Structure 1
């Protein structure tokens, strides 16, 4: 299965190469410009999905799909946001690309709002979720994803600091993945996907929970680890993902 993140990384690294070396001839080559357009056309194509976030049906990316990340994982949204911004900067604007640039601008605006508004969680947001009404069907619905308060895991309330917060790992109708995924949160800071206040909150959380997220090793990719019955069901008892 082709990973969904590789094309996004290619665009990001292509821009980084130009910035570091000053060699912009590479990104201006016809074949490279064609590659950028092909990736964008694939990501921006219309489908049945109603959200501005990028759908990853099989969870195919750097994180093992057996970790249960299929849907709209944060890491992909952060990379998608960065790739769109890089592409907008590198694309040669002409009659053949002006519609694509307009689509990029529209998607960036919608994606930024979607992630900042619905992926962010802190103590204030947790208290709001506890008061959510369910099965609301109107334009004025507060609980737009029909999230049941019982989905809030027992570890979260005691773990999240008062002065910090983070972007949750995944969001779909009826489902919020409250796990902390390090790459997605840090890349959201780098790419300005989060607001300045949210970015500061993420760094405050990392500092406050240093022993959980860093400890004696580089940053953990996911917290908390899947254990016991949850590990057996979600990973299929995959020994590579043993907690």
Structure 2
């Protein structure tokens, strides 16, 4: 039985769910992390198990260190961690910075930045060949907002993803001699329900025709990029940030 374990944070929906299913298909035992939607996470697990693969759903809010510890302890019981996909993240209501509260900004950075750093910390402790691990890969999910800035909408979210880009490069250099590769994907407008959670349920339909490829991307298209970065085919790639944006990220 394959004991290579992949943790996908925010794995119950969208890009996370697609990554979990594809990860299982290529041989990982998958830990499907979720914050609150147990039914959705169980649905992802059921899809994986129906294909003859292994998966478990684990509740944990990556905005809290104690929850992260419990998530990784559950993964330890499931097998040997060799892949982490730092996918969990939040957006908030569209507004300019002048109207944002300190509480909103703190929550955005706690979940999107601190949570990703702490999850990566726990992964490094387990994967590092200098600590007795087997090596592995970490892929952080950033956003083209890191390049475009989110002006007038969510500069706090864009700033959090800019931090993820910098963190990806720094950690890649830090653990390059420990058998761990660290990369990131930068999705553009992707057809998932994260837009609704930010108060823009129609964003994909409204923006799609005006995008360079005249459509939004799909969660599976991003997931395939993530799985490639984790695969042996990307063995010479670390510190790499792969745009999956249909050219949106190169617009002026």
Normalising to structure 1: TM-score of the pair? 0.30
> Rg bigger for which structure?
1
Which has the larger share of helix?
Answer: 1
Normalising to structure 2: TM-score of the pair? 0.29
Which has the larger share of strand?
Answer: 2
